[in-house]
Amino acid sequence: MEIFDLSVTDLQARLRAKELSPLDALDALESRIASVDPKVGAYLSRDLEAARAEAAQADVSLPLGGVPIGIKDVINVLGQPCTAGSKMLEPFRSPYNATVIAKLRAAGAVPFGRLNMDEFAMGSSTENSAYHPTRNPWDLSRIPGGSSGGSAAAVAAREAFATLGSDTGGSIRQPAALCGCIGLKPTYGRVSRYGLIAFASSLDQIGPFARTTRDCGMLLNAISGRDPMDSTSLDQPVDDYTRLLGRDLKGIRLGIPKEYFVDGMDPQVKAAVEAAIKQCESLGAELVEISLPHTEYAVGVYYIIATAECSANLARFDGVRYGHRADAPKDLLDHYKRTREEGFGSEVKRRIILGTYVLSSGYYDAYYLRAQKVRTLIRQDFAAAYEKCDALVCPTSPDLAFKLGERTDDPLKMYLADIFTIAANLAGICGVSVPCGFGIAKGGDGEKDGVRLPIGLQFLGKPFDEARLLRIAGAYEQSTDWHKAAPAL
């Protein structure tokens, strides 16, 4: 087995046994990136010299000692570029560390590399990056999901041992499903957002990508906890999120939301997920049918609330203090207009315009206020469901990874790629996607072209119940070999 094929857990064991050094791990990763990233496009930048300096001083006795961790380019690392995938922030270098970066370093990890993403985390395919699209390692003609497509693709392509991403409406879980790795969205407030460039402040949450649930638990151990720099982080006890791993599912009740098994889902996805649910039952889980009756409103509610918050958050990018600035403006108004026109891409502009509209005088009550009321109903649906079960199980994405460019001219179809993930963000609960099989891709003429593409199974847990969520996901994961599969790049 090559060094870059190791899980975080296995790498840590070899580092502690002095079979490898942190520099060996970093050099193996850099060699792999040089070999395959020109095809995949997961990274935007890397500072190998700085990473090697950190690796040389790493304390391998710490929980993540000496392990390089890739960082989505929306999380600030002191002295490094942080573009959020946008030309608006192209010249910007971060003057501080995000809390999650400080916590990773305290656990001994080495932050390494800036990973590609949809601009300001707005997208489901990583085609909205201002720099280049990221490609799915299983089929380079297809998307890796988004907005954290670079983070997922890097793990799947063995260009990273683990990575951090952010999830606003499925941006960790959906690319994890499409790339065949594990992606965990913690409960809102579990992980500090200080140092995360905000898209929608009431929805965004930072979380890990890895090749195993144990690795995800190890990263969550490191980054969780109350942060006085983030008023939305909650003062909840930080568990050991790996402590329940290795158990079966006896005594666990899994809810199957009937609204998540709908017409129009790829039949291969449906079949794989149904087989995975039966596998969970064979491991001891009791299956319970439940209903989330307001699911049909989730996409509409999300694209009102998220765009409203995006409109407010992105107002700060005006070219005055940092970021892109238009050349030789005629006056202040021309400065603002041209700076934002030149700096933002089309999808970001679309969402700013929509968000500004729903917040405008005369429309606030009809759209934004009403959406917030329906959001409460969606949260209540989940609370009622959890009275009957311990976690929910459902598909992560309704489709296999689609072709690059296939949906760029159809925003609504693109938005529906997150139909099974959005509600968890609205409700603020935790969720994880694990591989549960493969489907066969179809060519442009509708015929199967023989390419295998990953399918993801999603578990949705109660607020702050990540330890049990990972126990459930881990029991399924360890009973199959889907998570061990690697693309032949």
DSSP 239-279: --TTTTTT---TT-EEEEEGGGS-TTS-HHHHHHHHHHHHH
Active site annotation includes 72: yes
What does the pLDDT average to over 208-216?
98
pTM, full prediction: 0.97
Q: Are the beta carbons of 144 and 115 closer than 8 angstroms?
A: no
Mean pLDDT for 12-34 is 97
In a domain, 351, yes or no: no
Any domain includes 187: yes
Q: What is the mean pLDDT of residues 363-380?
A: 96
Tell me which of 7, 72, 125, 442 is the catalytic residue: 72
Q: 414 lies in a domain?
A: yes
Q: What is the secondary structure of 274-311 as a DSSP string?
A: HHHHHHHHHTTPEEEEE--TTGGGHHHHHHHHHHHHHH
pLDDT-above-70 percentage for the chain: 99
Amino acid 135: pLDDT: 98
CA 237 to CA 240: how far, in whole Å? 10
Q: What is the DSSP string of 84-116?
A: TTSGGGTT-B-SS--HHHHHHHHTT-EEEEEE-
Report if residue 323 sits inside a domain. Answer: no
Structural tokens at position 400: 């296999």
Catalytic residue selected from 94, 124, 171, 233: 171
Which domain does 451 fall in, by range?
A: 3-255+391-484
- Would residue 147 show up in a list of annotated catalytic residues for this protein? yes
Question: How many domains, in total, are found in the chain?
Answer: 1
Please report whether residue 270 resides in a domain.
no
Q: What angle do CA 282, 287, 291 make, to 5 degrees?
A: 155
| Burial of 362: CB neighbours in 10 Å, binned 0-12, 13-18, 19+ | exposed
- Say which of 7, 129, 147, 397 is annotated catalytic: 147
Strands 68-72 and 110-115: parallel
Over residues 414-447, the pLDDT tens digits come to: 988 899 999 999 999 999 999 999 999 876 555 5
* pLDDT band per the 50, 70, 90 thresholds, residue 450: confident
Exposure string over 101-129, b if 16+ CB within 10 A, otherwise e: bbbbbebbbbbbbbbbbbbbbbbbbbbbb
Task: List, for residues 142-153, the tens digit of each pLDDT value.
Answer: 999 999 999 999
User: Other C-beta atoms within 10 Å of 271: how many?
Assistant: 14
- Starting at the edge strand found earlier in the chain, the sheet holding 163-167 runs 43-45, 110-115, 68-72, 163-167, 205-210, 182-185, 430-442, 448-461, 391-395, 253-257, 286-290
Residue 232 and residue 215: Cα distance in Å, rounded?
Answer: 26
Q: What is the mean pLDDT of the chain?
A: 96
Element (H, E) at 431: strand 430-442
**275-291 residue pLDDT tens:** 999 999 999 999 999 99
Q: Tell me whether residue 130 is in a domain.
A: yes
How far apart, in Å, do the first and last CA atoms of the chain sit? 16
CATH of the domain at 229: 3.90.1300.10
264 found inside a domain: no
pLDDT at residue 446, as a whole number: 52
Average pLDDT value for residue range 26-54: 97
pLDDT at 12 exceeding the cut of 70: yes
Which long-range CB contacts under 8 A does 321-328 form with residues at least 24 apart? 322/89, 322/92, 323/88, 323/89, 323/90, 323/91, 323/92, 324/87, 324/88, 324/89, 324/90, 324/91
**Is residue 278 annotated as a catalytic residue, yes or no?**
no
Of 136-145, 367-376, 436-445, the least confident:
436-445
* Residue 467 within a domain: yes
